[in-house]
Amino acid sequence: GRGPGGGTRTTATHCPYCSLQCGVTMTAGDRPATLVPADFPTNRGGLCSKGWSAPELLDHPERLTRPLVRADPTDRTSPLVESSWEVALDRVVAAIRATQRDHGLDAVGCFGGGGLTNEQAYQFGKFARVALRTSAIDYNGRFCMSSAAGAAIRAFGLDRGLPFPLADIAEADVVVLVGSNPADTMPPAMQWFDAGRARGAEHIVIDPRRTSTARNATLHLQPLPATDLALANGLLHIAIAEGLVDEAYVAARTTGFDAVRAGVAGYWPDRVERLTGVPVEQQRRTVFALARGRRSIVLTARGAEQHRSGVDTTQAWINLALALGLPGREGSGWGTVTGQGNGQGGREHGQKADQLPGYRKITDPAARAHVAAVWGVDPDDLPGPGRSAFELLDALGTEGGVRTLLVMASNVAVSAPDARRVISRLRDLDFLAVSDFFLSETAELADVVLPSAMWAEEEGTMTNLEGRVLRRRRAMDPPAGVRDDLQLLAELAGRLGVAGFSGDAETVFTELGRASAGGPADYSGITYRRIDEEQGLFWPVPAAEHPGTPRLFTERFATPDGRARFWRVEQVDAHERPDAEYPYVLTTGRVLAQYQSGTQTRRSRSLQLVAPTPRAELHPDLARTLGIGQHDVVELATRRGRARFHALITDAIRPDVVFAPFHWGGGSSANALTDPALDPTSRMPAFKVCAVAVSRVGEP
């Protein structure tokens, strides 16, 4: 058994997957580990199939327990063979040194993940800036939360997914969900929605697909993908025309409304109906519901955000919420539903190309001075901002790009847009090291693979979708031969001759608290003990005696003048529109029984029973036109690549749209199809829309 000291023991911890971070109680030791849901404030005894199945993977036969290196270090086509840590780390350090010597400091890069703990994300950012002295670090949250973060910072001066507790959803009279499907992605969260609807609340879902969430709503608006901005501007147009604007709130708490008022003048309802496909009557019902609710909430998620105009689209929904006086009003507001387990904390502690810990800007001299002092380095030695995730990947192996890359907790070969291009860039690297617990599609390409500890085997903190900082607790020892990512980074830094990197999570958390002190995401008043005693703490917590901040913006926004900022935004066409060659719209997303790039969930026997094959959704009319039968194999083709799926014919999708899940790689890689057109502010790729051709390949 892997129980500490033999026997069994139970540990309170959290599901490893999504941002709801459901509380669980694990039993581990002499027998294979099991878990049961806990009565934690977010899930209150609920758990989805992903969470239930998570312990299966801890002892999975494909689990990596020894480092892997190429049999011939000069030939990446030679097989990966097991090695000692000594040999593996020697190779990593030798590659770093050679690249630095031949190509400069910025030619060594780091790529992190939103599944890392706060401590690991912090340590990874510090490792890049202090041990490697490179500007080249970014992470997969750029593909997830960056547009919402960009809009929230622009509008409110601060980005925390939900600026209010999840429980507020149960109390709201009206909730509008834009491009969000929690019934499939985080089912236990539905209890808050269900409680509201049982009280008679109006729930309006805006999604090109009639998802499980949409089916449970009181109203479903089904716009064409990438027209959400026009829809939001249209709703604001109606609010102005109908006198529904909260003028007192706008005058007291915001700036910039006049420009927005002028900007939406052209978004009259029947034009918006033509642009989006949403009938005028549904537009009106949505605005009137939001305006008349005593408590009204607008939530956006990836459906609205993963576009080349993702920041502006999110801003358009924030503009509407501001005009109706929602943000900062008790029980009301705008929020974004975070995706990855530590999608929130992952973006706060310095693994983003443009940020330092505490959610500070890397270009801000005061922020640099503060963090440099905590790190014991000269602020002038800290690198500046680097390239965003896709741009970093797209420059791999090129002149001026990264040549030696360290990837931690990310499977970019499946999750990055235009995945075939990214795979070819990964092959162009001089050296690739990947830390993971399974041989992911990215790890398969590596020169060195480092086996890391899984969630139940490590200590750390995560920050959930509400900004609640909670503890991941160690329930069992890692398998012999496996190392925690904190220890790995401390070891690598030591071998590079740089001191000051601890392998102990609580020590790193205390340092993270000091580094974040005074910044927007201030953790300095949080300790592991307080998290234990208070069921997590909502940041900011600027002092040991501070109670935390469940609700933000009640008095003022985090802008210099304390007012929220309206921002005029205009609908722009998607980068790719259907044409004769690629006549339909492709959108991508998740299914209930798989998670992200599938590195874990595709290996789970119980989840594979539920979602074994990737299925593309097509409307019956489209299927008929193309001669496609239920479960037939179809090929989707875009300007970037092709991928095959089984057809799932359903009238839940618009006839002009095809949906493909992105959890698979290889011949069923949805991201082999997606468009890497980037948002100018957030650098978010256009995952949610491109032009596609569909053809039948054969029978199931």
Interface map 396-435 toward ligand SF4 (x if CB under 6 A):
----------------------------------------
Q: Could you tell me the smallest distance in angstroms from the CB atom of residue 506 to ligand SF4?
A: 23
Stretch that binds ligand SF4, among 15-23, 135-143, 208-216, 250-258 (CB under 6 A): 15-23
H or E segment to which residue 549 belongs: none
State the Cα–Cα distance between residues 235 and 442, nearest whole angstrom: 43
Question: DSSP letter at 458?
Answer: -
Q: Could you tell me the smallest distance in angstroms from the CB atom of residue 182 to ligand SF4?
A: 8
Stretch that binds ligand SF4, among 40-48, 360-368, 437-445, 525-533 (CB under 6 A): 40-48
Residue 353: partners with Cβ closer than 8 Å, 6 or more residues away: 135, 136, 137, 138, 142, 385, 386, 387, 388, 389, 392
**Nearest partner of 339 among 162, 177, 185, 149, judged by Cα:** 185
State the Cα–Cα distance between residues 138 and 153, nearest whole angstrom: 19
| Choice between 188 and 548, CB closer to ligand SF4 | 188
The answer to whether the beta carbons of residues 300 and 336 sit under 8 Å apart is: yes
Residue 50: partners with Cβ closer than 8 Å, 6 or more residues away: 15, 17, 18, 592, 593, 595, 601, 607
State the Cα–Cα distance between residues 448 and 339, nearest whole angstrom: 29
Residue 243: partners with Cβ closer than 8 Å, 6 or more residues away: none
| Choice between 50 and 126, CB closer to ligand SF4 | 50
State the Cα–Cα distance between residues 488 and 582, nearest whole angstrom: 46
- Tell me if 472 contacts ligand SF4 by CB under 6 A: no
H or E segment to which residue 114 belongs: none
Q: What is the dihedral of CA 43, 49, 52, 57, to 10 degrees?
A: -130
Strands 254-255 and 564-565: parallel
Helix, strand and coil content of the chain, in percent to the nearest 5, comes to: 35, 20, 45
| Choice between 588 and 600, CB closer to ligand SF4 | 600
What distance lies between CA 140 and its chain's CA centroid?
A: 7
Amino acid type, 480: A
Q: 564 vs 151, 508, 529, CA distance in Å?
A: 11, 34, 35
Interface map 54-73 toward ligand SF4 (x if CB under 6 A):
--------------------
Q: Which of 50, 129, 403, 568 contacts ligand SF4 by CB under 6 A?
A: 50
Rg (CA), the chain: 24
| Choice between 54 and 107, CB closer to ligand SF4 | 54
Q: Could you tell me the smallest distance in angstroms from the CB atom of residue 420 to ligand SF4?
A: 29
DSSP reduced 3-state for 523: coil
Q: Tell me which residues in 90-149 interact with ligand SF4 (CB under 6 A).
A: none
Q: Which of 51, 125, 479, 536 contacts ligand SF4 by CB under 6 A?
A: 51
State the Cα–Cα distance between residues 545 and 265, nearest whole angstrom: 49
| Choice between 449 and 592, CB closer to ligand SF4 | 592
Task: Report the interhelical angle of 310-323 vs 146-156 (nearest 10°).
Answer: 40
| Choice between 21 and 134, CB closer to ligand SF4 | 21
Stretch that binds ligand SF4, among 118-126, 181-189, 323-331, 396-404 (CB under 6 A): 181-189
Q: Could you tell me the smallest distance in angstroms from the CB atom of residue 48 to ligand SF4?
A: 3
| Choice between 51 and 525, CB closer to ligand SF4 | 51
Q: Tell me which residues in 183-202 interact with ligand SF4 (CB under 6 A).
A: 186-188
State the Cα–Cα distance between residues 433 and 462, nearest whole angstrom: 25
Stretch that binds ligand SF4, among 44-52, 58-66, 281-289, 466-474 (CB under 6 A): 44-52
| Choice between 15 and 443, CB closer to ligand SF4 | 15
Q: Could you tell me the smallest distance in angstroms from the CB atom of residue 301 to ligand SF4?
A: 14
Contacts with ligand SF4 by CB under 6 A: the residue count is: 14
**Nearest partner of 159 among 388, 324, 315, 330, judged by Cα:** 315
Stretch that binds ligand SF4, among 43-51, 297-305, 412-420, 618-626 (CB under 6 A): 43-51
Q: Could you tell me the smallest distance in angstroms from the CB atom of residue 153 to ligand SF4?
A: 26
| Choice between 144 and 323, CB closer to ligand SF4 | 144
Q: Tell me which residues in 641-700 interact with ligand SF4 (CB under 6 A).
A: none
Q: 44 vs 21, 23, 166, 259, 671, CA distance in Å?
A: 11, 8, 12, 44, 35
Stretch that binds ligand SF4, among 13-21, 135-143, 373-381, 605-613 (CB under 6 A): 13-21
Burial of 251 (0-12, 13-18, 19+ CB in 10 A): exposed
Q: Could you tell me the smallest distance in angstroms from the CB atom of residue 688 to ligand SF4?
A: 21
Q: Could you tell me the smallest distance in angstroms from the CB atom of residue 51 to ligand SF4?
A: 2
Q: Could you tell me the smallest distance in angstroms from the CB atom of residue 49 to ligand SF4?
A: 7
Q: Which of 48, 69, 131, 149 contacts ligand SF4 by CB under 6 A?
A: 48
Q: Tell me which residues in 16-35 interact with ligand SF4 (CB under 6 A).
A: 17-18, 20-22
Q: Could you tell me the smallest distance in angstroms from the CB atom of residue 341 to ligand SF4?
A: 7
| Choice between 340 and 388, CB closer to ligand SF4 | 340
The answer to whether the beta carbons of residues 423 and 396 sit under 8 Å apart is: no
Q: Could you tell me the smallest distance in angstroms from the CB atom of residue 595 to ligand SF4?
A: 7
Residue nearest ligand SF4 (C-beta atom)? 51
Interface map 235-274 toward ligand SF4 (x if CB under 6 A):
----------------------------------------
Q: Tell me which residues in 496-555 interact with ligand SF4 (CB under 6 A).
A: none
Residues in contact with ligand SF4 by CB under 6 A are 15, 17-18, 20-22, 43, 47-48, 50-51, 186-188
